[in-house]
Amino acid sequence: MNAEIIAVGSELLTPARIDTNSLWLTARLNELGVEVLRKTIVGDDRNLLAQAVASALDRVPLLLITGGLGPTEDDVTREAVAQALRRRLLFSEEILAGIEERFRRLGRTMAPNNRRQAFLLEGAMPLPNPHGTAPGQWIDLPSGIVMLLPGPPRELEPMFTNHCLPLLRERLPQAFIRTRFFRVAGMGESDLDNRIAPIYRAYSNPVTTILAAEGDVQIHLRARAASEQEAEALVEELGAKILAELGDRVYSTDGSPLEAVIGRELASRGETLAVAESCTAGMLGARITEVPGSSAWFAGGYIVYGTAMKTRLLGVDPALVAQHGVVSEAVAVAMAESARDRTGATYALSITGEAGPEPSTPGIEPGTVWIGLATPGSASARLYRFPAGRERVRRWAVQNALYQLWRSLLESRAG
Amino acid sequence: MNAEIIAVGSELLTPARIDTNSLWLTARLNELGVEVLRKTIVGDDRNLLAQAVASALDRVPLLLITGGLGPTEDDVTREAVAQALRRRLLFSEEILAGIEERFRRLGRTMAPNNRRQAFLLEGAMPLPNPHGTAPGQWIDLPSGIVMLLPGPPRELEPMFTNHCLPLLRERLPQAFIRTRFFRVAGMGESDLDNRIAPIYRAYSNPVTTILAAEGDVQIHLRARAASEQEAEALVEELGAKILAELGDRVYSTDGSPLEAVIGRELASRGETLAVAESCTAGMLGARITEVPGSSAWFAGGYIVYGTAMKTRLLGVDPALVAQHGVVSEAVAVAMAESARDRTGATYALSITGEAGPEPSTPGIEPGTVWIGLATPGSASARLYRFPAGRERVRRWAVQNALYQLWRSLLESRAG
C-alpha cells in the first residue's frame, strides 16, 4: 500500500526549520510494508492545504497530515480537511470537557481559543492526546484513510504508536517485514555499489537502500512476505550474499556505529584508547564518547591544535617538526606514541592534517591528513587525501582514524 | 512573488534522509523577497514527477527542481519536466563535449550512461556545473520560470549563486530587502520571546523569526520595501528597539556564532584559550576550531574523560577528587587552572559533569555540569543543571562554557 504525508506549518517553509516528523512516520509505515510516495509541506493556508489534501487522496489511499491542530487562527488543518472532504465540522462537548479538564489539572484557565480544538470532522474518530490539548482525528473514507496528527513530536509519536498503528494493522493486508542493516567502512559508496549492485539488483524483494556519509556506508535490506518465515528467508538469502562479497568490510550487522563496535571489542579485551588530535581538535574524542559507558575503554588525550602545543603537551621534538613539517608521518607517529605513553592507554590514535579552507602549512594541500596509531607492539601512520571542505575533511579524518584502529584490532584478533 | 520547490529522489522518501537543499534555497529566495509556498518531495518516478511539476506551475510562477539529473536510469527529472511542459529533449554536442572533457581532466573514461546528461529541454539555457557532470537548466515560460538544479549541495549552491541569482534579479519586480540577524546567549527562547514579543508584534514588516538551539537563540528580521532606504529604515527601527531591550545579551549582530565572536575578541587582544574537557570529551575544542584561522587564538588542551586522567594529565590532586567528587566546583577550578598553567594560554575553560543517560557518579543527577574558567587574575566555576539527554547535555555544556568566557571578556573590557 502507498501513502503520502503532508506537513502543515508556515514555519516549515522558512530557511531554518525542517519537517522531521515525516522521517519517524516513514520508518513506522515502512515497517508495516507501506511506502511513502510523496511528502508535501504547506503553510497555514486553508485553501492551499485543502487543495493538497484533495489531490493526495486522488493518488493514494493513505494520507497522514501533521500539524495545524493548535488553538489559534493560524491552525487550519481541521477546516481545510473538512473543505477537501466536503464534510462538516461538529462540535464535541466531550472533547471540550477533556481539554478543560487538562487545563484544570495544570492549574491554568482555558483560553476561549481552545474551543476550536473541540471540533471533529463528521464521521471522524478522535485520537486521545495525553501530551497536549488537540486530539488527533482518524477518518475512514470509502477509498482510504486520513489521519490528522499533532505537530509536536512528543504528542505525535505516542498517539501514532498507541492508536494509529493498531488500527492500521487491522486494516492493512497482512504482510510481514524483515530487515537487515549492515554498516561498511573503508570503501566509498560507488566502489561498494559496483561490488554489490550485481547481487542486489537481482532482487526486487528485499528492497535494498544504500546511504553514505563521510567514509561510512549503510546498507538497508527490507523484505516483505505473507509469513514471518518467508520474509526472514528472503532477507537472509540476500544478506548472506552481500556479507560474503564484502567480508570484514562490514563492521556492523546490527546498526551500531563504528565507535560502538570498537568500544565493545576494547571492553571485551580490557583494553583502552587515547587520542592526540590536531586539526580535528576534539572531534574524535567527542564522537567516541557519544557511546554511553565509553569511560570503560576511553581514557582521554590531547588537543594539540597549535604547533607549539605538540611540543609543550606531548613532548614532540621541535627538531622533528622542523625537519618533517607538522603534517607528516614522523609527527603523527610521535604524537600517537607520546599520547599512548602519557595516558597509559593500550592504543593511541593521532590526527595531524590541513583542514583548510586556506592552506596554512607551506606545501601542504588542504585535505592532507596523517593518521597515526600506536599499539603495544608498533607505531605507524597513514596518509589520506580527502576532498576539500573544512568540516568534511575533519569528519573524514575522524571516521578513518576509527577505521584504522578497527582494522588493527581485527588483525590482532586474527593473529 | 511566490515559488515552490520540488526535491526529487527516492532516497528522500526513506526514514534516514532529508531534503536540506530547500532550506538553503529558501534563504536565498527570501533574500530576494520571494516566498516559498510549498515544498514537495517525490521519488524517482517520471509520471509522478511530471504531475507534480505541472500542478506546481498551475499555482506559482517560479519552480525550482533539485535532484534527478544524474546519469542513471533512475534520474528522470529531465524526462519528467519535458513531459510536463510538452517540450522535446534535444541532444547537445556541446554539453557532451564538456562532460567528456571533465572525465579526461580527472583521468577517467566517461561511461555511456553519461550521454543522458547532455540532453537539454527545448528552449532551455544550460547552467554550467564546474563541480559535477550534469549541467543545470533554466527555462523561461510565458507564465514563469523553471529551474533544474543538481542534488548535491556543492554542485547546487555555486550554480544557483553564480547563474540563477543574477538571472532572477533581472526578472523579478524591484523590491528591496534588508535584514538583521541577532544572536543571543544566556537566556531561553521563551524568556526572550516574553521580553521582545510586545515590541516586534507591532510590526508586520519587518517579519520577525525566532529560532532556538541549545542555549543559543537567533532573531531574524526581514523588511521589504520599494526602496533600499525605506527597507533599511524599517529594519533599523525595529532592530534598534530589540537591541535596546536585550542589551549585551546580544552577542552577535552579523550572524557570527559565539565561538567566532570570542575568537575575534581574543585575536584583537593577542590572547589565547585552552580547554580541559571531561564529559564533553573534545566537543568544545571541535566547536571552537570550526572557525577557520582559530589557531591564532586557540592553543588546545586536554580530554580527561576518565577520573584517573584528571590526575595523570592535569595533576589534579586525588585527595581533592576524593573529598569533593569528580563533578564538583573544586575539580572544575583545578582543571581550568592546570590547563591554563600547562598550555600557557591566557584563559582556560573546563567542563566536568554527568551527561547520562545513566548516573555514573553516586549522588550526581545526569545533567549536572560544573564549568570552570581560569583567567590571569582568577579561577572560578559555575554549576548548571541541564535537561536530560546525553548529547543535549553535552551541547548545552559547550554553549554555556563559551558564554561564560564571553561574559568574562565583556566584563574585563568594561573594567
pLDDT at B272: 98
Residue range B285-298: mean pLDDT, rounded: 96
Shared-domain flag, residues A142 and A185: no
Shared-domain flag, residues B241 and B292: no
Best mutation target among B201, B207, B289, B352 (most A Cβ atoms within 10 Å) is B289
Q: A184 pLDDT band (50/70/90 cuts)?
A: very high
pLDDT at B158: 96
**Which residues, including other chains, have CB under 8 Å from residue A30's CB and lie 6 or more apart?**
A36, A177, A222, B14, B15
Helix B228-246, helix B189-200: angle, nearest 10? 130
CB contact (8 A) between residue A40 and residue B41: yes
Chain A interface includes B165 (CB < 8 A):
no
Of the candidate ranges B117-131, B144-158, B329-343, B348-362, the one whose mean pLDDT is the lowest: B348-362
- Tell me phi and psi for residue A339, to 5 degrees: -60, -40
CA distance between the termini of chain A: 51
Chain B interface includes A226 (CB < 8 A):
no
CB contact (8 A) between residue A15 and residue B38: no
Q: Which domain holds residue A180?
A: 176-252
**Cα–Cα distance measured from residue A183 to residue A189, given in angstroms and rounded to the nearest whole number:** 11
pLDDT at B415: 60
Last-in-domain residue among A229, A252, A275: A252
Shared-domain flag, residues B89 and B201: no
How confident is the model over B345-400, as pLDDT tens digits? 999 999 999 998 888 777 889 999 999 999 999 999 999 998 878 998 999 999 99
Total residue length of chain A: 415
Last-in-domain residue among A150, A171, A192: A171
Q: For residue B90, what is the domain's CATH number?
A: 3.40.980.10
Residue range A142-168: mean pLDDT, rounded: 94
**Cα–Cα distance measured from residue A308 to residue A358, given in angstroms and rounded to the nearest whole number:** 20
Distance of CA B124 to the CA centre of its chain: 33
The owner of cell 529533449 is B89
Residue range A335-362: mean pLDDT, rounded: 93
pLDDT at B373: 98
> Distance, in angstroms, between B32 CA and closest chain A CA?
13
**Which residues, including other chains, have CB under 8 Å from residue B128's CB and lie 6 or more apart?**
B135, B159, B162, B163
Strand locations in A272-361, DSSP E? Answer: 273-277, 298-304, 347-353
Backbone angle region of B123, left / alpha / beta, with phi > 0 → left and psi within -120 to 50 → alpha: left
Q: What residue spans of A65-224 are helical by DSSP H?
A: 77-85, 93-105, 153-159, 165-171, 189-200
Structural domain total, chain A: 3
Q: What are the angstrom distances between the C-alpha of B39 and each of A8, A10, A167, B18, B66?
A: 11, 11, 29, 12, 11
Nearest chain B residue (CA) to A26: B15
Of the candidate ranges A204-208, A364-368, B22-26, the one whose mean pLDDT is the lowest: A204-208
**Residue A147, C-alpha cell as written in the block:** 489521519
**Cα–Cα distance measured from residue B257 to residue B216, given in angstroms and rounded to the nearest whole number:** 9
**For chain A, what is the largest distance between any 2 Cα atoms, rounded to a whole number of angstroms?**
83
* Best mean pLDDT range from A216-220, A314-318, B94-98: A314-318
Q: What are the angstrom distances between the C-alpha of A181 and each of A197, B60, B202?
A: 16, 41, 53
Shared-domain flag, residues B320 and B410: yes
Best mutation target among A11, A13, A284 (most B Cβ atoms within 10 Å) is A13
Chain B interface includes A231 (CB < 8 A):
no
pLDDT at B78 over 70: yes
> Distance, in angstroms, between A77 CA and closest chain B CA?
15
pLDDT at A415: 60
**Residue B99, C-alpha cell as written in the block:** 562532460
Backbone angle region of A255, left / alpha / beta, with phi > 0 → left and psi within -120 to 50 → alpha: left
> Distance, in angstroms, between B415 CA and closest chain A CA?
30
pLDDT at B278 over 90: yes
Shared-domain flag, residues B167 and B180: no
CB contact (8 A) between residue A209 and residue B284: no
How many Cβ atoms are within 10 Å of B323's Cβ, its own excluded?
A: 11
> Distance, in angstroms, between A296 CA and closest chain B CA?
8
Of B18, B36, B42, the CB nearest to A38: B42
How confident is the model over B180-207, as pLDDT tens digits? 999 998 877 778 888 898 999 899 899 8
pLDDT at B279 over 90: yes
Higher pLDDT, A228 or B274: B274
pLDDT at B106: 79
Shared-domain flag, residues B284 and B399: yes
Shared-domain flag, residues B205 and B153: no
CB contact (8 A) between residue B360 and residue A295: yes
Higher pLDDT, B173 or A251: A251
Q: Name every chain B residue with its beta carbon within 8 A of the beta carbon of A282.
A: 275, 277, 281-286, 289, 303
CB contact (8 A) between residue B37 and residue A298: no
How confident is the model over A241-284, as pLDDT tens digits? 999 999 989 999 988 999 999 999 999 999 999 999 999 999 99
Shared-domain flag, residues B320 and B370: yes
Shared-domain flag, residues B52 and B129: yes
Of the candidate ranges A169-183, A193-207, B261-275, the one whose mean pLDDT is the lowest: A169-183
Chain B interface includes A197 (CB < 8 A):
no
Chain A interface includes B243 (CB < 8 A):
no
> Distance, in angstroms, between B120 CA and closest chain A CA?
26
Distance of CA A209 to the CA centre of its chain: 14
pLDDT at A131 over 90: no
Nearest chain B residue (CA) to A290: B391
Of the candidate ranges A271-275, A303-307, A386-390, the one whose mean pLDDT is the lowest: A386-390
Q: What percent of chain A has pLDDT over 90?
A: 72
Long-range contacts, stretch B22-27, CB < 8 angstroms, 24+ apart:
B22/B66, B23/A15, B23/A16, B23/A18, B24/A15, B24/B153, B24/B156, B24/B157, B25/B64, B25/B66, B25/B156, B25/B160, B26/A13, B26/A14, B26/A15, B27/A15
pLDDT at A290 over 90: yes
**Residue B27, C-alpha cell as written in the block:** 534563504
Best mutation target among A303, A307, A364, A391 (most B Cβ atoms within 10 Å) is A303
Whole-number average pLDDT of chain A: 92
Chain B interface includes A188 (CB < 8 A):
no
**Residue B191, C-alpha cell as written in the block:** 524568556
**Residue B380, C-alpha cell as written in the block:** 572560578
Q: For residue B185, what is the domain's CATH number?
A: 3.30.70.2860
Shared-domain flag, residues B297 and B400: yes
**Cα–Cα distance measured from residue A355 to residue A220, given in angstroms and rounded to the nearest whole number:** 32
- Local structure of residue B285 (DSSP, 8 states): H
> Distance, in angstroms, between B265 CA and closest chain A CA?
18
For residue B256, with 0-12 CB atoms within 10 Å meaning exposed, 13-18 middle and 19 or more buried, which class applies? middle
CB contact (8 A) between residue A282 and residue B289: yes
Chain A interface includes B77 (CB < 8 A):
no
**Which residues, including other chains, have CB under 8 Å from residue A358's CB and lie 6 or more apart?**
A366, B292, B293
Q: B127 pLDDT band (50/70/90 cuts)?
A: very high
* CB of B49 closer than 8 Å to CB of B40: no
**Residue B388, C-alpha cell as written in the block:** 536530560
pLDDT at B246: 94
Of A45, A298, A308, the CB nearest to B305: A298
Q: Name every chain A residue with its beta carbon within 8 A of the beta carbon of B276.
A: none
pLDDT at A32 over 70: yes
pLDDT at A100 over 80: yes
Q: What are the angstrom distances between the C-alpha of B99 and each of B93, B103, B115?
A: 10, 6, 8
The owner of cell 594560554 is B345
**Cα–Cα distance measured from residue A29 to residue A20, given in angstroms and rounded to the nearest whole number:** 15
**Residue B382, C-alpha cell as written in the block:** 559555575
Whole-number average pLDDT of chain B: 92
Q: A303 pLDDT band (50/70/90 cuts)?
A: very high
Q: What are the angstrom distances between the C-alpha of B48 and each of B81, B88, B375?
A: 11, 19, 62
Q: For residue A352, what is the domain's CATH number?
A: 3.90.950.20
Shared-domain flag, residues B157 and B228: no
Chain B interface includes A292 (CB < 8 A):
yes
Shared-domain flag, residues B166 and B19: yes
How confident is the model over B22-76, as pLDDT tens digits? 999 999 998 888 999 999 999 999 999 999 999 999 999 999 999 999 887 788 9
- Local structure of residue B162 (DSSP, 8 states): I
Nearest chain B residue (CA) to A38: B42
CB contacts < 8 Å between A and B, how many? 204
Query: Of A180, A175, A145, which Cα lies nearest the Cα of A160?
Result: A145
Q: Name every chain A residue with its beta carbon within 8 A of the beta carbon of B273.
A: none
CB contact (8 A) between residue A277 and residue B282: yes
Of A26, A55, A286, the CB nearest to B286: A286
Last-in-domain residue among A171, A201, A219: A171
